[in-house]
Amino acid sequence: MGVDLIIAESARKHGVSDEDIRHAYANPIRVFELDEGLTMIIGPNRAAIIYEIGVVDGVPAPVVVHAMKARDKFLR
């Protein structure tokens, strides 16, 4: 996938692969604008498991700072 995206080490904390992060980011189901400039993107990984991907604006590309299986509060 050619999505321009920077993946911070903090996004790997829950063991989500870079490929699954990029897939969920590129295929959003819902998007939540949260506090302090954090955007939470809800989307499927390559196996259609729904993930939450936390993104902040960065230069030269958005920075993923959080990635894990989606919690119930984002699936309602």
- Report d(CA 68, CA 50) in Å as an integer: 9
Task: Give the Cα separation of 11 and 14 in Å (integer).
Answer: 7
Which residue range forms the structural domain that includes residue 34? 6-74
Q: Dump pLDDT digits (tens) for 53-73.
A: 999 998 889 999 999 999 999
Residues 64/54, Cβ–Cβ less than 8 Å: yes
> What percent of the chain stands above pLDDT 90?
86
What does pTM read for this prediction? 0.89
- Position 1 in a domain: no
The pLDDT assigned to 3 comes to 59
User: Does residue 56 belong to any structural domain of this protein?
Assistant: yes
* Structure tokens that stand for 25 in this block: 């980011």
Domain count, the chain: 1
Identify whether 22 is part of a domain.
yes
52 occurs within a structural domain: yes
- Whether 52 and 70 have beta carbons less than 8 Å apart is answered as yes
Element (DSSP H or E) covering residue 24: helix 18-26
Is 90 exceeded by the pLDDT of residue 1? no
